[in-house]
Amino acid sequence: MAKHSNQPEQLVQQVLAAIRSAGHAGVTSQQLALQLGIRDKGQRYLIFDAIDLLLDEGRIEAGKKGRYTSAGGKDTAEGTIDIISSGAGYVRLGVVGEDDVYVQQRDIGTALHGDIVVIKLIGGRGNRLEGKVVKVLKRRRTEFVGTLHKKQGRMILVADDQRIQRPFVIPASEVNGGNEGEKVIIELGEWKDARDEPRGKVLRILGKAGEHQVEMHAILAEFGLPLEFPESVLKASEGIANGVTPEEIALRLDVRHIPTLTIDPDDAKDLDDALSVRQLENGNWEIGVHIADVSHYVRPGSVLDMEAASRATSVYLVDRVVPMLPEKLSNDLCSLHADSDKLSFSAIFELDDKARIRNEWFGRTVMRSQRRFAYAEAQAIIDGADGDYKTEVLLLHRLAQVMRKERIANGALEIGGNEVKFKLDEKGAPLGVYEKVMGPANWLIEEFMLLANKRVAGWVNKRPEGKERDQERGKRPFVYRIHDLPDPEKVDQLRSLAKSFGYTLRQADGDDLPHAINDLLKEVRGTEEENIIKQVAIRSMSKAIYSTENIGHYGLGFEHYTHFTSPIRRYPDLLVHRAMAHYLAGGKPLDRDELELSCKHSSRMEKQASDAERASIKYKQAEYLLARIGQTFEGIISGLTSWGIYVELRENKCEGLIGLRELPGDVFRFDKERYTVVGQRTGRKFRLGDELEVTIKAVDMDRRAVDLVLAGEPAVTTSGKFERRGPTKASSIAPRKASSKGKRPKQEQKPKKGTKGKRR
């Protein structure tokens, strides 16, 4: 018998699932109550509320004798539609074992990306199931960001989101002061007939398109992220006093006398972690991981807490941080500046010379950092330079190296990555693009943060003192950072890719697979194909999320893992601090459902923040290449799709697309089975990792997209004839190989680049 949830949203989904399972026969409200374990008649209103909501949304229908059935019949299904670049879509049914349903562009109807829709199943080609949208049940969003244009005397808006394929018509009465060429936010009006254009009204004018500040604000708005703090939140933060008082210090462990330092980027303002180090009388080392005690200042249910919970994370664009907390907290009270007493939540470890844990302690402290290091300064000491706290830095580095080596030996994946960074002028225009390389100083901090996160999660999973061991996993509800097993099909793609380069990803399953992937990555280290293989390896992995259900962290090889170390910029870390304080004080189990809702929201907001960061990078890359139209660059194929070939430029890591129709001399098709673009007549092939010389053809700033053509080859004109684009080079007639090892790799889709450099 199913166990019902007290959370309305979850109960609605349970009711809907039960009604669908009943099929054409339907089910009564009484039967639903029994199935969901609601025996108390006083609680039956929960079922009625869920039924009323589903009826209002058109997701179920009321039949004879009080029976309810799923709307639409046996040939229909309900799910969330994802629109792809070609204009077609896939509907995710959300049913385990069910494939996504393909919807051709002509059958999308009035659906927009992310909407919940009802589709009619209409067969398909081969094994591919196809459908047609018959109804939009719920809009994912009703506000859109884009640029106003005049076309045939009408004002239209072209959305920044490339997955919104149709322009919005803005009636003259709804322009509200907006002008051609301006970035605005619009609200979608009623739209029921796909033959009509969607209409909208201007809600807010952001400014002239192309201006740096305007574009950054537009990206935040596009992904539903806040532009500024409400006045009430700023006022609340300004009223908070420094919590380091004699009374508060008396309640905490005082570690201010222990040598303590921070290591962060040189431009960081929110310093949320510090390390202390001293040798104990027994010869072991005491290492303290001290984290800003945000929970002391941000109390549950306060205005500050509600705003932080809504944001869930800080957002990192190319030129700024949009913080989760107001500056008074993030850059002042909770930032662990040197030579300043701060409230902290600490994980303190006794380690021997081989970095083995001999003892550990968790609790609230008051600390004082004696020295702030930039990563470059700490790295200089590691490389042999003299400097303050050299002994402490070198000791931390040595212990971190031991822990890192052991962690990888135990199965942690070693898929590092570098961040794309920009050198901007005073107006925000990109002057250069470069990669920020991670080094031993970064790894030093990472290892101790991983240690703290791992041990905190492990402590919560231990049985409380004096109590019988509970057989249920996670008896004390908690927020975990979990990472599921990789997709077997994508691992096979990685194996094929490695083989085409002349490398081997040996057959391995379960705990042995990370070792096999690490062996492959070590083998390709320093080669030209390293970056491509890393990208595909990352793409094969699942997405790490927050959950109360602890399934472990596959990528790190940890049975227990959480996020404890960054409460200034991540709301789950704040929840972890509160839970730790609660359980350390002997508190009863927390509400699992309430924590799970926060986990889901935080995971969703983390993805939106990551997407916004990627969008800001793509915009600046496009802006950088806008001034280089007509120039030729060396590049490597980084993705293959049914609409084109993605090429990453070697010199600046920018990426552009060669449309399949732009490939000269043949009609090219994407061979999904072999993950290759092939000429139908000549058999000419393009594979992932092939080196090409390409010319920047055009840059579309609205779409943040760069169009490329092969350099020095005949290009197709609109008349279908060919014209020369500069001298033909022998090296451009066919893709050059990035390696002498074997053939080129296979890959279906363009791998997404992760936003690296942030702690796991």
Is pLDDT larger for residue 720 or for residue 275?
Answer: 275
Quick one: pLDDT band at residue 537, thresholds 50, 70, 90?
Answer: confident
Confidence of residue 463 (pLDDT cuts 50, 70, 90): low
Reported as a single tens digit per residue, the pLDDT across 336-359 is: 999 999 999 999 999 999 999 999
Q: Edge-to-edge, what's the strand order for the sheet holding 89-92?
A: 101-103, 89-92, 76-83, 116-121, 131-138
Q: Is the model's pLDDT at 718 over the cut of 60?
A: no
What average pLDDT does the segment 88-109 reach?
Answer: 83
Per-residue CA distances from 611 to 116, 315, 617 (Å): 21, 10, 10
Higher pLDDT, 675 or 433: 433
The CA distances from residue 417 to 613, 665, 758, in Å, are 16, 38, 10
Please report the pLDDT score of residue 124 as a whole number: 66
pLDDT at residue 469 in the model: 45
Average confidence (pLDDT) over 74-103: 81
**Which range has the top average pLDDT, 146-160, 518-532, 663-677?**
146-160
Whole-number pLDDT of residue 52: 87
Contact 347, 455 (CB under 8 A): yes
The pLDDT of 139-145, averaged and rounded, is 93
Is the per-residue pLDDT at 487 higher than 60? yes
The pLDDT of 228-245, averaged and rounded, is: 96
Across 40-44, 66-70, 368-372, 503-507, which has the greatest mean pLDDT?
Answer: 368-372
| Distance in angstroms (rounded) separating the CA atoms of residues 340 and 344 | 12
371-374 vs 260-264, strand pairing mode: parallel
Return the beta strands (E) in 84-199 as ranges: 89-92, 101-103, 116-121, 131-138, 143-151, 154-159, 168-170, 182-188
Q: Which of 390-399, 469-478, 484-493, 512-521 has the highest mean pLDDT?
A: 390-399
pLDDT at 728 over 70: no
pLDDT at 743 exceeding the cut of 50: no
Instruction: State mean pLDDT over 178-189.
Output: 96
pLDDT for the residue numbered 719: 30
pLDDT tens profile 11-39: 887 888 788 777 667 888 888 888 887 77
More confident residue, 87 or 108: 108
pLDDT band at 417, cuts 50/70/90?
low
Instruction: Identify whether the C-beta of residue 524 lies closer than 8 Å to the C-beta of residue 500.
Output: no
Summarised one tens digit per residue, pLDDT across range 494-504 is 888 888 788 88
Joined together, the tokens standing for residue 46 give: 């929960």
In this predicted structure, which of 344-358, 577-591, 647-661 has the lowest mean pLDDT? 647-661
Q: According to the model, what pLDDT value does residue 749 have?
A: 43
Q: What is the pLDDT of residues 253-312, one digit of tens each?
A: 999 999 999 999 998 889 999 999 999 999 999 999 999 999 999 999 999 999 999 999
Domains of the chain: 8-70 (1.10.10), 76-138 (2.40.50.140), 143-209 (2.40.50.700), 242-462+477-482+554-608 (no CATH), 621-733 (2.40.50.140)
- 619 neighbors 701 (Cβ within 8 angstroms): yes
Most confidently modeled range among 10-24, 97-111, 237-251, 641-655 = 237-251
- In angstroms, how far apart are the furthest CA atoms of the chain? 85
Mean pLDDT of 191-219: 94
pLDDT at 747 over 60: no
First-to-last C-alpha distance (Å) of the chain: 38
C-alpha distance from residue 159 to each of 84, 186, 188, 203, 220 (Å): 15, 10, 12, 14, 14
Mean pLDDT lowest among 114-118, 564-568, 577-581, 673-677: 673-677
Examine the pLDDT at 4 and tell me if it is beyond 70. Answer: no
How far is residue 374's CA from residue 356's CA, in Å, rounded to a whole number?
28
pLDDT at 364: 98
Amino acid at 341: D
What token pair was written down for 362?
Answer: 């968790």
Q: Residue 78: name the closest of 98, 50, 56, 49 by CA.
A: 98
Comparison of pLDDT for 29 and 581, the residue scoring more: 581
As a whole-number percent, the residues of the chain with pLDDT over 90 amount to 59
Stretch 450-475: mean pLDDT:
73
pLDDT value of position 538: 80
Binned at pLDDT 50, 70 and 90, residue 491 comes out as confident
Q: What is the mean pLDDT of residues 598-609?
A: 95
Q: What whole-number percentage of the chain has pLDDT above 70?
A: 88
Mean predicted lDDT score pLDDT of the chain: 86
Structural contact between residues 444 and 263, judged by C-beta atoms closer than 8 angstroms: yes
Single out the residue of 415, 414, 416, 411 nearest to residue 508, CA to CA. 411
Looking at residue 352, its amino acid is D
- Comparing 347 with 436, which gets the higher pLDDT? 347
Quick one: pLDDT at residue 722?
28
pLDDT given for residue 275 in this prediction: 98
Query: Quick check: 575 pLDDT over 90?
Result: yes
Beta strands in 457-525 (DSSP E): 480-482
Mean pLDDT, rounded, for 724-735: 31
Per-residue pLDDT, 729: 29
Q: Which residue has the higher pLDDT, 65 or 723?
A: 65
Task: Determine the average pLDDT of the residues in 353-368.
Answer: 97
Instruction: Give me the DSSP letters along 245-261.
Output: -HHHHHTSEE-TTS-EE
Q: Is the pLDDT of residue 335 over 90?
A: yes
Q: What is the pTM of this model?
A: 0.81
106-120 pLDDT tens trace: 999 999 999 999 888
pLDDT value of residue 635: 93
pLDDT at residue 523 in the model? 87
pLDDT of residue 581: 97
In this predicted structure, the answer to whether residue 757 has a pLDDT above a threshold of 50 is no
Residue 231 Cα distances to 225, 236, 321, angstroms: 17, 9, 19
Please determine, for residue 95, whether its predicted confidence score (pLDDT) is greater than 70: no
Band the pLDDT of 639: cuts 50, 70, 90: confident
187 CB neighbour count, 10 Å cutoff = 16
Q: What is the pLDDT of residue 79?
A: 87
The pLDDT assigned to 465 comes to 53
